[in-house]
Amino acid sequence: MEETGALRQRILGRAVAASRDREPQKRFSVKSLFRAHLRARFDPTDSSTINSEPAVTEADIFQAAYGDPLGRDYWRAWLSEPFHPLRVADLIATHAAASEPLFQCTEGQIFSVLLTANFANTSSAIGWLIDTPHIAHLVPASLREYLSGAWRSDAGTKTEADTGQPDKKTGRPSGTGYARQDELLIVEMHSLLDTRKAKSLTEAASTVIGKDGERAPGGGTRDAKIARLVKRARERKTKKK
């Protein structure tokens, strides 16, 4: 097997090279590095040949390719993709299998689960995986953080998205906040704006909650839900600055 030091140098060298790519090539190049690292660490002819320590971590590759150990632009790019069950299964399995040679099994497990439901886009599919007990642990922590809003530049400040509790300014009683669900919808809204499928936050919010508004939690009217999502999206943008 390749020495750990040499493997680390090779993988990070490729990550730096990938940093000069443009999307969509960049995210595919970076994902291939995780696959290359996995293959290099595991010799299929000998199940005992797994390095005790990985040559590089996910954060190492993200830092070299994006200048950000959380890989925010990487996840943002993947979440802007139209939903395709096999592609989502491949993405999650690639990261889940980074520490053990279970890629094929994991990919098949995720793929079979994704086929049981219909999703509007990639972010809603991954949000659903996070809420699926026997699959949730496979979703990488960095992606969970991106979806939860913990990647904000002012992440040290505890806000509604961090605590799961409603903002006191909203006037709703404790326990009735919809932070987690709204964050997933806001990610979808920004994907629509980034891909120019919506011209405004209001149009994006109207699209993601559906004609009956049932995708947004709460018992308010459809217009009230749209207003709530738009307000939260703007507040998150302000806090990010």
Helix (H, G, I), strand (E, B) or coil at 50: strand
Residue 21 pLDDT grade (very low, low, confident, very high; cuts 50, 70, 90): very high
Kindly report which listed range (186-190, 212-216, 235-239) carries the lowest average pLDDT score: 235-239
Q: Reduce the secondary structure of 125-160 to three states and give it as a string.
A: HHHHHHCCCCCHHHCCHHHHHHHHCCCCCCCCCCCH
| % of the chain residues with pLDDT over 70 | 73
What are 74's two structure tokens?
């990487």
Percentage of the chain modeled with pLDDT above 90: 15
Nearest-angstrom CA–CA distance, 149 and 200: 21
Q: Are the beta carbons of 142 and 71 closer than 8 angstroms? A: yes
Separation in Å, CA 108 to CA 85, 120, 121, 122, 159: 11, 21, 20, 17, 37
For the stretch 89-131, pLDDT in tens is: 989 888 886 544 555 567 888 888 888 777 778 888 888 888 8
- Which residue, among 34, 30, 35, has the nearest Cα to 16 in the 3D structure? 30
Note the pLDDT tens digit of each residue in 27-78.
999 999 888 776 666 554 444 444 445 667 888 999 999 999 989 999 999 9
Is the separation of the CB atoms in 232 and 182 below 8 Å? yes
Residue type, 59: A
Of the candidates 144, 57, 48, the one whose C-alpha atom is nearest the C-alpha of residue 99 is 57
Contact at 8 Å (CB) between 119 and 83?
Answer: yes
Whether the Cβ atoms of residue 120 and residue 84 lie closer than 8 Å to each other: no
Task: Pinpoint the alpha helices (H) of the chain.
Answer: 4-18, 25-41, 58-66, 72-79, 85-96, 103-114, 122-130, 141-148, 160-163, 179-194, 201-209, 222-240
pLDDT of the residue at 167: 42
